[in-house]
Amino acid sequence: MKTLIVYAHLIAACIALGVTFVQDLALARSKGAALTPQAIAELKKAAEIVVMALIVLWVSGAGLVTMGYLDDPAQYLLNQKLWAKVAVVALLTLNGIVLHHYSFPRVTSSGGITSLSYTEQTLVALTGALSSVSWLFACFLGIARPWNYTLSFSLIMCIYVGLVIGAFVVACEVMRTMRRADSTHMGKAIELNSPRKFD
């Protein structure tokens, strides 16, 4: 029974991680332009899959924690890595709610990402970075057996926060590149459409 639950836990994480990265690449390829109706439909479908995977992750994770506790009630809950993983998945879940209610409506807006204000772009970049890093780090914690009962909760979370900051910097740079490309495109369009003067 435990093997099946571990398998379901692993499959849910792999599916969510794969779908997330495919959609991140699709958004990057759009270069901030308005998404097509097909791309928006795919993004919504991907979000539904990730939500289902997250539910399976929580349910299977709760089952594994219960089994672990029953096997070793004196020591199991003293594992700091376990609590770090719970914290990361909790943050991932909260971030998913923000993504759904804040970032997705802006990413799928008629003007695209480049039409958003600087603050909106920054928040979209933050939620995207937090999502990608959280999925990756949660999966890593699932296999990081050497960290069991060795690393403290605070150290693990410091590593996590450092990775989030690094990903956020990269996401902001991608946003800056998109803005610059959009400004260049707009400038060329204005130049081509402006009336020419002849001597």
Give 6-36 pLDDT, tens digit per residue: 999 999 999 998 998 888 888 878 777 888 8
116: DSSP letter: S
User: Does residue 117 have a pLDDT over 70?
Assistant: yes
Segment 116-145 shows an average pLDDT of 92
pLDDT, tens digit (0-9, with 9 covering 90-100), for 50-66:
999 999 999 999 999 99
Amino acid letter for position 14: C
Q: Could you give the percent of the chain with pLDDT greater than 90?
A: 60
Q: Could you give the percent of the chain with pLDDT greater than 70?
A: 91
Amino acid letter for position 101: H
Two tokens at 176? Answer: 């800056």
User: Does residue 195 have a pLDDT over 70?
Assistant: no
Q: 159-165: long-range contacts at Cβ-Cβ below 8 A with a sequence spacing of 24 or more? A: 160/84, 160/88, 160/133, 160/134, 163/133, 163/136, 163/137, 164/129, 164/130, 164/133, 164/134
Give the three-class secondary structure for 150. Answer: coil
**Dist. CA 7–CA 1, nearest whole Å:** 10
**Dist. CA 191–CA 82, nearest whole Å:** 59
**Dist. CA 29–CA 85, nearest whole Å:** 32
- pTM equals 0.85
